[in-house]
Amino acid sequence: MAMLKVSDLSVNYGVIQAVKGVNFEINEGEIVTLIGANGAGKSTIVKTISGLLKPKEGQIIYQGKDIVHQKAPQIVLDGISQVPEGRHIFSGLTVMENLQMGAFLQKNSSEAAKSYQEVFDRFPILAKRKNQDAATLSGGEQQMLAIGRALMAKPKLLLLDEPSMGLSPLFIQQIFTIIKELNEKGTTILLIEQNAKQALSIANRGYVLATGQVQLTGSGHELLANPEVQKVYFGG
Ligand code: ATP
C-alpha cells in the first residue's frame, strides 16, 4: 500500500481550476518529484496535502486514512511537514525561536530537546547562529532553517516546495545532498522543483505536471532520458 495516494484531486481558487483530476502516489522510503512550469499546480497540490487548502474533489489517503477533511495541525501530528516555497522564515525571531515554531505541537519537552539536537547535528551552521536573528542568515542558511523547522515535528513524509529557489549553485548542491541524506535516514520525500534535472537525478519517481494535470510519469532516470522532458525542461 502506498504511504500517500492522491486520487482525482481537483483544487480551485474561485473560478480558477488550479489542479484538475490529479493522481499520484508516494511509497514509503521514496523521493518523488513533481516537476512542471510556473503555474502548473505544484504548490497547490502541496498545500492541499498539508491541509492548508481544501479540494473541490478527490481523496488524499495517507497511511490508509483520508486526510482531506483533517485540519493542518492534525496532519502535522500524523507525520506530514511542509517546507513552504520562499522559506517563510520568521524574521525578528532568532534561529532557535524559528525552530521552536516547528515544535509547537510537541508537548514533551525532552522530545523537543532531542529534536533541537538532531537539527543542530544535521545543520551545524544553525547551532552556530542559534541566537542570531533569522533575517541575518544567507539564503542557503535560511533554507536549511526552513528544513530544520519542518524536521522539528519529526515528519515521516516531508513536503519540499522549491527548496533550491534563489540559491547559489553551491547551496543548490548542498540542498540536494541534504535531501538525499534525509531520505537515506528514513524520511519519505515529496519534492517540488523548477530545477527538473537535479530533482529527477535524486528522485525514485517523478510526475510531470502541466496546467493542473499529470502529463507524464516514470522513474527519475526514465524522465531524465525522455526527449519531451529534455526539450521542455532542460532547454534542448
Ligand atoms: P509556481 O512554481 O509558480 O509556484 P506551481 O506549479 O506551484 O507554480 P501553483 O502555485 O499551484 O503552481 O498555481 C496553479 C494555478 O493556480 C496558477 O494558475 C496560479 O496562478 C493559480 N493560483 C495559485 N495561487 C492562487 C491564489 N491564491 N489565488 C488565485 N489563483 C491562484
pLDDT digits (tens, 9 = 90+) for 22-57: 999 999 999 999 999 889 999 999 999 999 999 999
Task: Provide the residue range defining the domain that includes 68.
Answer: 4-234
Q: State which of 13, 191, 215 you would mutate to test the pocket of ligand 1, scoring each by most atoms of that ligand within 8 A of its C-beta.
A: 13
Extract the C-alpha cell encoding 184: 537515506
Residue 94 per-residue DSSP state: B
Region at 188 (left for phi over 0; alpha for psi -120 to 50; beta for the rest) = beta
* pLDDT for 109: 76
Round to whole Å and give the CA distance between 61 and 63.
6
Residue nearest to atom 30 of ligand 1 (CA): 13
What is the pLDDT of the chain when averaged over all its residues?
Answer: 93
Nearest-atom index, ligand 1, CA of 37 = 6
Quick check: 90 pLDDT over 90? no
What ipTM is given for this predicted complex? 0.94
* pLDDT for 236: 52
Single out the residue of 54, 65, 26, 57 nearest to residue 160, CA to CA: 26
Quick check: 106 pLDDT over 90? no
Angle, helices 139-151/95-102, rounded to nearest 10 degrees: 40
* pLDDT for 112: 78
Higher per-residue confidence, 116 vs 223: 223
Question: Mean per-residue pLDDT for 117-130?
Answer: 93
Q: Which amino acid is at 215?
A: Q
Instruction: Quote the number of domains for the chain.
Output: 1
Question: Mean per-residue pLDDT for 171-198?
Answer: 94
Round to whole Å and give the CA distance between 186 and 189.
9
Residue 210 near residue 39, CB atoms below 8 Å: no
Ligand 1 neighbours, Cβ below 6 Å, are 13, 16, 18, 36, 38-44, 85
Q: State which of 20, 35, 44 you would mutate to test the pocket of ligand 1, scoring each by most atoms of that ligand within 8 A of its C-beta.
A: 44
* pLDDT for 107: 73
Region at 166 (left for phi over 0; alpha for psi -120 to 50; beta for the rest) = left
* pLDDT for 110: 80
Q: Which CATH number does the domain housing residue 25 bear? A: 3.40.50.300
Residue 49 near residue 192, CB atoms below 8 Å: no
Residue nearest to atom 4 of ligand 1 (CA): 43
Quick check: 88 pLDDT over 60? yes
pLDDT, tens digit (0-9, with 9 covering 90-100), for 55-77 = 999 999 999 999 999 999 999 99
Residue 42 near residue 209, CB atoms below 8 Å: yes
Nearest-atom index, ligand 1, CA of 161 = 7
pLDDT, tens digit (0-9, with 9 covering 90-100), for 124-150 = 999 999 999 999 999 999 999 999 999
